[in-house]
Amino acid sequence: MTVHSATATRVRTGGPHDDGPKIVEHLMGWALVVVVAMLVTQLGLL
């Protein structure tokens, strides 16, 4: 078994080089910001 064949069979687990739907990540990030803002205001921390 060569080095190339050993690395070619690895399963990708995601990460910075994983190409996916960027708009979904963007929207989920903003949704998290909104949820945290609502939590902060409900708890009276601001």
Q: How far apart (Å, rounded) are the C-alpha atoms in residues 1 and 13? A: 23
pLDDT digits (tens, 9 = 90+) for 5-28: 555 677 767 666 666 678 888 999
**35 pLDDT band (50/70/90 cuts)?**
very high
**Residues for the chain: how many in total?**
46
Residue 22: per-residue pLDDT = 86
- Residue range 39-46: mean pLDDT, rounded: 90
Decide which of 3 and 35 is more confident.
35
CA 10 to chain centre: 21
**Residue 46 in this model has a pLDDT that exceeds 60:** yes
